[in-house]
């Protein structure tokens, strides 16, 4: 609330002059006295008071419009993020896709149907992302962070997830043929219906995975898998998996 105090009239020049010290300061006192009277005269104008109130009102209106348009600004930000993702398709490097994807996911925007085959997304942070039916074929996702992500029906053929974090990920019916999962964390992941043909699972963490209804594990390398569920390794070998230490063997 704006509080205004009524100004008292300044002293007359005779009154002010009576208190002037050295004569050389007289011009300065005269100038100050003139300003005092000018300020007093302007303070009596209701028009200026109205302008002051209008200035405060304009700030309030600007604040209200800022919050009212926040939804439109957010939509514009998401639109620009998707533009970055789509225009970078087929190009080398990240092309800004990592930042754009992370921004969308932080705003809880679904990434359903993301089409980024061959994309360089090393180290991307997408916890809990909705990547249903996405296409990340042959994408570089080394050291990525995708815990609890929804990758159902995703095309992850030949994708590189080395040292990635996929614990608690939902990977039902995902295509993981020839995928590189060396050293990845798949603890608690649901692989029901997933195709793991020729996937590299060396040193992969498999604690508590849903594996009993994996579609295929033919040719997959299960050497050194960590904390596999009871019966998994026997089942895997019975269904064509192998255990080979090195890349060349």
Q: Tens digit of pLDDT for each residue in 135-156?
A: 999 999 999 999 999 999 999 9
Q: What domains does the chain contain, in order, with CATH numbers? A: 13-68 (no CATH), 96-249 (2.160.20.80)
At what angle are helices 70-87 and 97-106 packed, to 10 degrees? 150
* Residue 98 and residue 118 in contact, taking contact as beta carbons nearer than 8 Å: no
Characterise 76 by phi-psi region: left (phi > 0), alpha (psi -120 to 50), beta (else).
alpha
Of 214, 161, 165, 217, residue with least CA distance to 186? 165
């009154």: which residue's tokens? 15
Q: Tens digit of pLDDT for each residue in 86-114?
A: 887 766 667 789 999 999 999 999 999 99
Q: Tens digit of pLDDT for each residue in 2-24?
A: 455 666 777 776 777 667 667 67
- The number of helix segments (H) and strand segments (E) in the chain equals 6, 0
Cα gap 244→249, rounded to integer Å: 6
């Amino acid at each position: 609330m704006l509080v205004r105090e009524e100004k008292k009239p300044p002293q007359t020049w005779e009154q002010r002059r009576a208190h002037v010290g050295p004569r050389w300061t007289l011009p300065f006192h005269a100038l100050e006295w003139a300003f005092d009277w000018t300020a007093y005269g302007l303070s009596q104008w209701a028009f200026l008071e109205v302008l002051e109130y209008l200035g405060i009102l304009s700030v309030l209106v600007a604040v209200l419009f800022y919050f009212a348009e926040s939804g439109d600004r957010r939509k514009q930000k998401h639109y620009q993020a998707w533009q970055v993702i789509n225009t970078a398709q087929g190009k080398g490097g990240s092309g800004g896709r990592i930042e754009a994807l992370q921004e969308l996911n932080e705003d809880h925007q679904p990434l359903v149907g993301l089409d980024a085959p061959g994309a360089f997304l090393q180290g991307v942070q997408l916890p809990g992302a909705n990547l249903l039916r996405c296409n990340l074929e042959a994408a570089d996702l080394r050291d990525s962070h995708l815990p609890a992500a929804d990758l159902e029906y995703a095309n992850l053929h030949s994708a590189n997830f080395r040292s990635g974090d996929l614990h608690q990920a939902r990977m039902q019916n995902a295509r993981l043929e020839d995928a590189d999962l060396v050293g990845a964390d798949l603890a608690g992941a649901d692989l029901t219906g997933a195709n793991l043909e020729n996937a590299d699972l060396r040193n992969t963490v498999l604690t508590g995975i849903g594996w009993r209804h994996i579609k295929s594990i033919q040719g997959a390398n299960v050497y050194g898998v960590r904390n596999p569920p009871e019966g998994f390794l026997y089942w895997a070998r019975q269904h064509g998996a192998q255990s080979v230490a090195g890349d060349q063997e």
